[in-house]
Amino acid sequence: MFHYVKREVESVFVHRFSNDTMPWFNIIKNSSHYWVLSGLFLAYPLYHPQYSNTLSPTLVHAGVAVFLLAELGNGWAHIVLMNLRPAGTRQRGIPKGGLFNIVSCANYTYELLAWLAFSYFTHMLTGTLAAFDSCCILHQLKVLSGCPQHTCF
C-alpha cells in the first residue's frame, strides 16, 4: 500500500505534467492500472486466509529494508527529474548523481528493485509480475526514446 500512496502523492506534488505530456485522463488511467494490479495480483493473495510466509523474520526484515530503500531511491530520483524541468517549460536537463551516474532510468531501476524485494519478502510470485510490469515500461521507454540498450538498467 505504501508504494501506491507514495505514487499518488508524487503525482500531485512532484511530477510536473502538462496537457501535452500527460492529460488528466492518463493520470486517472495510469492510477487505475496500478490499483487494479495491486488488488488482483498482490492484495488478494497476500491477505488470503491460506497465505503463509516461510521466511525467517530476519530475512523478511532484510527484504523490507531493501524495499523501503528502493522506494526512497525512487522518490529521490523523481525529485531529481522534477528539478530538471523548470515549472511551465518543456525543457529538460540530464540527471546526475546516484544511480543516474550508471543508468538513464534510475527511477525505474529503483522501482524494479523495490518490486523484486517485495516479491522476496512476501514469497509471492505475483510480486514478480509487478517487477515484470516495470520491465515492460522500461522496454517501452527504450524503444520510444532510442535509449541505448545498456543504459536503461
Write the single-letter amino acid at 137.
I
Q: Which DSSP letter does residue 90 get?
A: -
Residue 11: give the domain boundaries.
2-151
Q: Report the domain count for the chain.
A: 1
Task: Look at residue 57 in the predicted model and tell me its pLDDT.
Answer: 93
d(CA 111, CA 40): 19
Q: Could you tell me what percentage of the chain is helix, strand and coil, using 3-state DSSP and rounding each to the nearest 5?
A: 70, 0, 30
pLDDT along the chain (153 residues), means of 10: 62 55 67 73 84 90 95 89 76 84 85 88 83 70 53 47
Task: Look at residue 152 in the predicted model and tell me its pLDDT.
Answer: 45
Task: Look at residue 69 in the predicted model and tell me its pLDDT.
Answer: 96
Q: Which DSSP letter does residue 48 get?
A: S
Task: Look at residue 153 in the predicted model and tell me its pLDDT.
Answer: 47
